[in-house]
Chain A
Amino acid sequence: MSEAHTATISVLVENSPGVLVRVAGLIRRRGVNIHSLSVGPTENAAVSRMTIVVDTPPERTEQFAKQLRKLVEVRRATAVDGQQTVDRELALVKVNANPGTRMEIMEIANVFRANVVDLTDRTMTLEVTGKGEKVDAIVSLLAKHGIREIARTGQATLVRGAQAT
């Protein structure tokens, strides 16, 4: 999880079967772990964007992007580290909560601008959005209440300003 050895690569791909496997296979072939991968449609229905965070030293990042560009289905691959970017991740955190602990958990949620999206007499589910570090921070604060489940989307990134990612 150390930030020093992760690299973020934003990839625009053809929206077609097998592309995810090609991208993942290319990374796997080099023995590199995928830290997170988020994928979804873009403004162009024929194109999807993947934001891939890999555990790889910075000097290998550009080589990674170049190899990705060799895939015929990849339209664009950008190593975004070192650029001004907006990075966001969404997490759903289901935590143990009883009437006695609810207020404390909601205080934590307020500080992190998290939303309560589900509540039962024994659990509370929070939705939190932000940089990965922010999600890590709220998760560590909630830990003492007992986290039942977490679902994180993985990082999505765009370069700031008019420049394309």
Chain B
Amino acid sequence: MAKQIVSAPAARRRTSRATKMTGAQVLVETLRRERVKVLFGHPGGASLPIYDALYDATDIRHVLVRHEQVAAHAAVGYARASGRVGVCTATSGPGATNLVTGITDAMMDSVPVVAITGQVPRPVIGNDAFQEADVTGVTMPITKWNVLVMRADDVARRVQQAFYIARTGRPGPVLVDIPRDVSQESCDPEFVDGIPVPEYRPVLDGNPNQIAAAAELLGSAQRPMIYAGGGIISGNASAELTALAERTRIPVALTLMGKGAMDELHPCCLGMLGMHGSAYANWAMNEADVILAVGVRFDDRVTGRLRDFAPRARFIHIDIDPAEIGKNKPAHVPIVGDAARVLAALAAQVRPPQIDPWWAQITEWRERHPFRYRQRDGQISAQFVCDLINRLTGGTAIVTTDVGQHQMWMAQWYRPRAPRSFISSGGLGTMGFGFPAAMGAKFACPDRQVIAVVGDGGYQMTMQDLITAVEHRLALPIIVVNNGALGMVRQWQTFFYRNRLSSSILRNPDFARIAEAFGARGIRVDRPEQVEPALRSALATEDGPCVVDVIVDPEENCLPMIPSGQSVAEMILDE
């Protein structure tokens, strides 16, 4: 069978030739042409030729991590903070399989990442060679696309295709697996000048009739809502979303992935909805008569029980991925296209609906049940820490989180003013994500304040790479919200398993002293009045990472909460 994605047109496309190079040199040259400035990785036997070629590439910065999972998460953090493709690399076998969690995270959250893995030499592929794993087989269901490159001549085209596919349409991770002897083989590289996968061109402009129907539906709505998600951020559609909201005054609820898609201090923005979203955003969705869903996938953490989700609403669903439309909820007006283009077209023709009574109702809900927290005597409330991070930064920093209670509290209390400022593992819910993603974000945006907010459980999954942050003198505050437990597991056991705390209580090391042993700053605080000075000091630390171990109230639960698979009616508001 012909070993190519692009068959007949390939021969006719214009290509540019250079002089003889090795496959690894071609790879590095292709990375350069894709304007890659940083890659995160860890070398090994099968990727030695690649690392030898990187040795000469003084314009491409290689960040040596201590575990490949960190490389993948850092590439995700880099991509989500910058909007550019993040790149990670690992050797064959265990190196590549260590990338799997990070690649899956990128798949679930639609993040453009290219993973380059070494593979054993061609003659021994399939023979259970040392450090061999079927990496294209393993990653098939967790990549947008992957390829095993069997000729050095193909390296340039395959890598160009990988970058194009990763960033085009609905973004996602792509893996390129390169056998060691392909990296060593000499070839005449052929770089594609045009689009490297001509067949893959997602629809960008929405159908005008559908856009007109959507405008009509929104204009006549009495209780409209906009339900906006990560697609706004990856589609760079924040300005268009804000313009539409301002023109129509339609309230906007954001998903976890959509946080920052709109300035969360904007009067039209109701913040996050869903399982731990605001009561008022969830009540508003529940009562809405028309919902404009854009760049969202009706995830179960948003909808709860599907049939009870927004039961009175008719849906307009805009997405660049046709498979998302109607996947979980039928769309009355489906629109396939690029969020920015469709929202701009919609804003130009929509007639602002008459919704003063609707806003009066929402305002009443908002006043009746804002986010709030208790502070027990002598205990530090985790929500207070999150609230304080928001106040100290004014929502202008890039924050990353791990997964669990602290993540939801940050989602509730941190109110980003701009997109690409809240980076959290959404779909996959990956513990250990927050700190490496913050490193990636800091490499992408060295002039921005970047803060990792992690749990004591998640931090221990990737903590070893603190040395990487020290080595690169990253000004990176790492706030460990330490409740001595796997807090969200503990919370579910409290609510749904009669408080039988099975394996959810942690004996922790001293995170501040560990930081010091790595050569970072470490601060431990366990009294409320210590928190603000410690955070201020950490945020002002310029020459390296600063770990703040904050011992918080271990009994706090994350509320409100819509229990899994239930509806707004079953929302738990208070203890």
Contacts and interface: CB of A to CB of B under 8 A. Distances in A.
Contacts of B326: 62-63
A7 to B, nearest CB: 16
Contact of B2 (A16, A66, A69): A16
A72 interface: yes
Interface string A96-130: 00000000000000000000000000000000000
Contacts of B1: 15-17
B323 A16 contact: no
B322 A66 contact: yes
B537 interface: no
A29 interface: yes
- Contact-residue size bin, chain B (C-beta under 8 Å from the other chain): 20 to 34
B251 to A, nearest CB: 30
B383 interface: no
A16 B5 CA distance: 7
Nearest to B8: A46
Nearest to B328: A63
Contact of A25 (B5, B7, B141, B321): B141
Contact of B200 (A16, A22, A25, A72): A72
A67 interface: yes
Given A67-B323, A72-B200, A25 B2 contact: no
Nearest to A71: B145
Contact of A16 (B4, B140, B165, B197): B4
A21 B140 contact: yes
Interface residues of A, number: 22
Contacts of B199: 72, 75
B91 interface: no
Contacts of B8: 44, 46
A87 interface: no
A16 B145 CA distance: 13
Interface string B419-435: 00000000000000000
B327 interface: yes
A75 B165 CA distance: 15
Interface string B172-204: 000000000000000000000000010110000
A23 to B, nearest CB: 11
Contact of A72 (B7, B197, B322, B327): B197
Nearest to A72: B145
A73 interface: yes
B3 interface: yes
A70 B140 contact: no
Contacts of A46: 2, 7-8
A55 interface: no
Contact of B7 (A15, A18, A67): A15
A157 B145 CA distance: 28
A44 B8 CA distance: 10
Q: Which 3 A-B pairs have the closest CB atoms?
A: A46-B7, A66-B323, A72-B145
12 contacts: A14-B5, A14-B7, A15-B1, A15-B7, A16-B1, A18-B136, A18-B140, A21-B137, A25-B141, A44-B8, A62-B326, A69-B323
